[in-house]
Amino acid sequence: MRLNQRIPITAFIAALFFSASVLARVPAGDLLEGVMPGPDGKIHVLTVFPHQDDETFFVGGTLLKMKNDPRVVTHSYCMTLGDASEAKDILGITPEKLGRMRIKELELAAEVLDIDEVIQGNYHDQHLAEHPEEARQKILDIINRVGAQVVITFGPEGITMHTDHRAEYKFTREVFPQSNAQKLFLVSMPKPIYRILAHPGVTPIPPTIAVDIKDQKKLKMQALRSHASQTRPMSMKTVIFAIRFFDHEYFALIEKP
């Protein structure tokens, strides 16, 4: 996960104040509203993301909040090994070692976020788009195997415009109508927040639901610290600092045709 490398403090503060008025236009919501439990009486929630740390940055508070409902079982599918991050150069290690480290970091974060199942893929970082048919089938198989009623993934811009993020969105969006899942939620942000944290020139898909994560924020930040290798770049230190000020996570609901 990589957001804006530099966030001017004045722009960041302005975004904080402006986001309050934006939030008023994004309805507070619950991703479980209207979801029918499966035959086992449980509601299975699956996140599908390319990299270790995506699940925490964008959905960590929401996953924690969902677990307040005893029916909820959470699953996280991480598609790549995370082996191309710039952290390997900062740490002076091989891609293979970085991949092993990031898998362990995801396991630690999942423990903090109370994720019931971590499913680790084996695609190389930054090469996900090269395997469309296989990747689509894998996502579909996992959705149906875990019995997911709710799937959470990136939107079309992938927040950061990362090629893996956009490929993963495309694959998940394409197989969702064929799956047994009831709802698909895309990670989103209000435009002013997005343009500060991510890309000034890109308009994200507008959020339809804001999830209040104030009570879950301390644990979310702890889970972020579990992804220790990814806190090395200065850009990530700045983003982690910024995230602690936001009390909501945002999503766009995609209904089945």
Residue 171 lies in a domain: yes
Residue 246, pLDDT score: 84
Residue 150 lies in a domain: yes
Residue 123 lies in a domain: yes
Rg (CA), the chain: 17
| Helical residues (DSSP H) of 114-162, grouped into ranges | 132-146
Q: What is the pLDDT of residues 166-196, one digit of tens each?
A: 999 999 999 999 999 999 999 998 887 777 6
Residue 12 lies in a domain: no
Residue 116, pLDDT score: 98
Residue 34, pLDDT score: 95
The domain that holds 211 is classified in CATH as 3.40.50.10320
Residue 182, pLDDT score: 97
Residue 207, pLDDT score: 94
Residues of the chain with pLDDT under 50: 5-7, 9-10, 13-14, 17, 20-21
Residue 149 lies in a domain: yes
Residue 76 lies in a domain: yes
Residue 21, pLDDT score: 45
Could you give the number of structural domains in the chain?
1
Residue 192, pLDDT score: 75
DSSP 49-92: ESSTTHHHHHHHHHHHHHTTSTTEEEEEEEEE--TT-THHHHHT
What residue has token string 């296989």?
Answer: 134
Residues 6+ apart with CB under 8 A from 201: none
Which residue range(s) make up the domain with 162?
Answer: 45-254
Residue 214 CB neighbour total at 10 angstroms: 11
> What is this structure's pTM?
0.90
Residue 10, pLDDT score: 47
Residue 84 lies in a domain: yes
DSSP summary character for residue 109: H
Q: Contact 96/239 with Cβ under 8 angstroms? A: no
Residue 51, pLDDT score: 97
Residue 21 lies in a domain: no
Distance between CA atoms of residues 99 and 5, nearest Å: 23
